[in-house]
Amino acid sequence: MKITDLLDQYPADFMPFPAVDTPDADTTIARTMKKLALTPRRRHIPIKMLLAACLTVILTATAAAVGFTLWEQARQDAGLASAGDIPEYVEYTDLPAISTDNPLENDGITEVEGASIELVSTICAGQNVTAYLRVSPAGEDGEWDIGGKPEAGGVSEIDGFYLFGIRQLSYDAATSSALICLELRGAIFEAASSFSMDLFRSEADSILHFGRFTLPITPSETVAFPVALPLENGFIPETATLTEVAVGASFVRFTMDNPQDFAQWCEANGGEDAWFQMGDAYWGAFDRAAGQEPATSYTELDAQVAYQRSWSGAICDLAYDSAVVLLDGTEIALDGAQSSLRGDDDAVSWMTEEFTLPSLVDLSQVAGIRIGEAYFPVASVPAA
């Protein structure tokens, strides 16, 4: 039995690559120095540097002995220098256990005896939740996943969330424990006070169940910028309006208001004939770019998906020419940022597109946002 038989999402099987015959480091250095006509020199390390290095080793060993390395690893992975860099990052220094026994009646599942899931830290920013967990007993190899029936405190209905990623950051052989990073996305996290799911690990031909865990969802803030910028569709001659841009600690969200939803656009462009117009403008463009013959007909669903994606592309084009501006003048560009969430109604009368920032941002240091040539300051910050 495969884990895909039990869970909605599971990473693809790893495909091993052939070994590459590469020179060792010494050979590479020697070749490079020969090309540059350099002669190796013996370096003498000052005694102060040696003492500093020894002190670093001692402090690191001491930190490992008292368990600080878990939080240091979490901060390093999050790109934070200290726990107080942003209020959205919360550390749990007493490592509270957040798992409960929840045996699953399935022959393909192996329950892990004595399993423990402990909370190291979380980052809750709007619809984005990142959690660092220590799990034991664990192994060096295997793939982690979540599943089971989700539950959320503070909301009556769960809608629109998904697993963005789950990674094992380290393994401690002495305690048979692993530090993992879990990333979730969904509108539910803006209203929920907690979130519960089951944790699994796939090893060889078995699926291990570590029990059910519950994450606390802490409040977060955003900085909203009301804007009224025209948004040009690159596939059809239509214009919508970018109405708002919101900045969170880990994301920037663009909101579009469309004067014509899909049904209205079709009605204004010939009914069923509009399906072909939209399909050919979008799907046909990709076919022609690939040197293929475009289709001669498109269904209503083809056209509706094309209509939605064409507006998503319009938002992306504008976002990639945008940047968050900090008080010190630094710009955090969105060029190439990953779009991690998109929301709209089926008719595409409105749409939001959310982009993951390359680094976490302290919202108190945000001065404004630049969108193309336009600049929008925070209300309390005077325009430059």
243 and 198 together in one domain: no
242 and 344 together in one domain: yes
- Is 287 within a domain? yes
190 and 263 together in one domain: no
- Is 63 within a domain? no
Query: Do 258 and 239 form a contact (C-beta atoms < 8 A)?
Result: no
| Domain span including residue 103 | 86-216
Calpha distance 376→251 (Å, rounded): 17
192 and 256 together in one domain: no
Calpha distance 305→253 (Å, rounded): 21
241 and 357 together in one domain: yes
Calpha distance 213→98 (Å, rounded): 5
Q: Give a three-class secondary structure readout of 116-138.
A: EEEEEEEEEECCEEEEEEEEECC
281 and 327 together in one domain: yes
CB atoms within 10 A of CB 113: 7
Which of 166, 184, 216 corresponds to the end of one domain?
A: 216
Strands (DSSP E) found in 75-186:
89-91, 99-100, 109-111, 116-125, 128-136, 143-153, 161-172, 177-186
Calpha distance 236→222 (Å, rounded): 33
Over 80: is that where the pLDDT of 83 sits? yes
Residue type, 360: L
Strands 350-356 and 251-257: antiparallel
End-to-end CA distance of the chain: 62
Label residue 22 by pLDDT band (50, 70, 90).
very low
136 and 121 together in one domain: yes
192 and 308 together in one domain: no
Closest CA to 321 of 336, 305, 343, 302: 336
Query: pTM to 2 decimals?
Result: 0.76
Give the per-residue pLDDT at 52: 42
Which of 193, 216, 239 corresponds to the end of one domain?
A: 216
Label residue 62 by pLDDT band (50, 70, 90).
very low
Give the chain's mean pLDDT. 82
CB atoms within 10 A of CB 242: 19
Over 60: is that where the pLDDT of 384 sits? no
Calpha distance 313→315 (Å, rounded): 5
Per-residue pLDDT tens digits for 176-192: 999 999 999 988 999 89
- Is 5 within a domain? no
Residue 16: Cβ-neighbour burial (10 angstroms; 0-12, 13-18, 19+): exposed
Per-residue pLDDT tens digits for 124-145: 999 999 999 999 999 888 899 9
DSSP secondary structure of 212-237: EEEEE------EEEEEEEEEE-SSSS
Query: Do 298 and 276 form a contact (C-beta atoms < 8 A)?
Result: yes
276 and 341 together in one domain: yes
Name the domain count of the chain: 2
Query: Do 56 and 63 form a contact (C-beta atoms < 8 A)?
Result: no
Label residue 107 by pLDDT band (50, 70, 90).
confident
Q: Kindly list the distances between the CA atom of residue 259 and the CA atoms of 165, 231, 240, 276, 349, in Å, as whole numbers in the listed order.
A: 35, 11, 6, 21, 7
* Residue appearing with tokens 């503070």: 154
- Is 3 within a domain? no
Label residue 117 by pLDDT band (50, 70, 90).
very high
Closest CA to 90 of 117, 123, 68, 119: 123
CATH number where 206 lies: 2.60.40
